[in-house]
Amino acid sequence: MDLTEEILALKQARNAVILAHNYQMGEIQDLADYVGDSLGLAYHAKATTAEVIVFCGVHFMAETAKIINPGKIVVLPDADAGCSLEQSCPAADLEAYLKANAPKNYYVIAYINCSGAVKALCDVICTSGNAVKIVNQAPPERPILFVPDANLGAWVMAQTGRQMDLWQGSCYVHLEFTRDSINRIKAEYPQALVVAHPECTHAVRLLADEVCSTEKMIGFCRNAPVRDIIVVTESGMLHRLRKECPGKNLIAGPTERCACADCRYMKLNTLQKLRDCLANLAPRVEMEESLRVRAEAPLLRMLEQSR
């Protein structure tokens, strides 16, 4: 039996579902039951009837699945698959900031790329796919604190016209794209359109014809009236786009150092580790129940508000 067959057999034996983010390596995407962005993955995690959720993505995504599925076993292939955005906002720092600014009575909106402990301190969660919708539903009389991604926050402010105070976190992968690196590839493909993730810097977003979540990139590329499209996000996205948009020339946005950008956390997951986590039902995501309950409320509010 080869590795893929072994994984599929174990999946059946365990009554498991395999959910994979768009940044996972191609081999993992190809055998997943569902591949998508953070929002689609959260909805699928909520809807599944499987007993085990194998989350091929990073830790905060698997933790989100656990928060909304306390009765299920949630495993991820590599427990060290973290996220620089999550690291840029420790819960203790946010708690101290909110305490120091208590008179402001902030309405706190957290991008889903954060820990469960941060989610528990927030009013509502958003993803890049629904951030505009969520911010538009925030109570108009309260000041907003948006954590942890300052780039996504600035983009949402421009889209909604709503002022927000921004936590100064960032995604180290999307910071690697620069105005010069994108201008160079645009010069090589003068007819190309550019689609970029909102975690990119303002200077890079200004060069894009469309700024959107990874899932929305599929529709943009499919419907684009040109063949050449420069995709400014993590490299795994290209695998999904090439499958779903045949006939398009999908070009990875380069960084100053590389022809494309890899997220070192997303790429920790491998087929071998996926097989092992199904076989051992480990590493598991576990959460203390009172924390889980506090983190669940803003997540459920998000799922409700983004319908």
**Which amino acid, 64?**
T
Q: Is 199 in the site for ligand 13P (CB under 6 A)?
A: yes
Residues 134-193 that bind ligand 13P (CB under 6 A): 171
Measured between alpha carbons, how far is 211 from 278 in angstroms, rounded to an integer?
36
For 42-62, the DSSP string reads HHHHHH---SEEEEES-HHHH
Q: Is 166 in the site for ligand SF4 (CB under 6 A)?
A: no
**Which amino acid, 67?**
I
Minimum distance of ligand SF4 from residue 58's CB (angstroms) = 5
Closer residue to ligand 13P, CB minimum distance, 66 or 240 = 240
Q: Is 38 in the site for ligand 13P (CB under 6 A)?
A: yes
Tokens at 93, concatenated:
């720092």
Q: Is 110 in the site for ligand SF4 (CB under 6 A)?
A: no
Closer residue to ligand SF4, CB minimum distance, 58 or 131 = 58
Q: Is 88 in the site for ligand SF4 (CB under 6 A)?
A: no
Give the position of tokens 């591949």.
35
Q: Is 19 in the site for ligand SF4 (CB under 6 A)?
A: no
Q: Is 56 in the site for ligand SF4 (CB under 6 A)?
A: no
Q: What are phi and psi of 15, to 5 degrees?
A: 50, 55
Pick from 7, 37, 153, 241: which binds ligand 13P (CB under 6 A)? 37
For ligand 13P (CB under 6 A), the number of binding residues is 12
* Residue 175 burial (C-beta neighbours within 10 Å; 0-12, 13-18, 19+): middle
Closer residue to ligand 13P, CB minimum distance, 78 or 106 = 78
DSSP, collapsed to helix, strand or coil, labels residue 255 as: coil
Considering only 47-55, 71-79, 91-99, 125-133, which stretch makes contact with ligand 13P by CB under 6 A?
Answer: 125-133
Closest CA to 31 of 58, 13, 10: 10
Closer residue to ligand 13P, CB minimum distance, 67 or 73 = 67
Max CA pair span of the chain: 63
**Which amino acid, 20?**
A
- If phi over 0 gives left and psi between -120 and 50 gives alpha, with beta otherwise, what is residue 15? left
Q: Which whole-number Å values give the CA distances from 265 to 3, 78, 80, 207, in the listed order?
A: 22, 9, 7, 27
Q: Which of the listed partners (ligand 13P, ligand SF4, none) does 110 bind, with a CB threshold of 5 to 8 Å by partner kind?
A: none
Pick from 123, 176, 215, 234: which binds ligand SF4 (CB under 6 A)? 234
Q: Is 88 in the site for ligand 13P (CB under 6 A)?
A: no
Q: Residue 152 belongs to what H/E stretch? A: helix 150-160
Q: Which of the listed partners (ligand 13P, ligand SF4, none) does 265 bind, with a CB threshold of 5 to 8 Å by partner kind?
A: ligand SF4
Provide the binding-site residues for ligand SF4, judged by CB under 6 A: 58, 83-85, 113, 171-173, 199, 234, 263, 265-266
Provide the binding-site residues for ligand 13P, judged by CB under 6 A: 22, 37-38, 113, 127-129, 171, 197, 199, 213-214
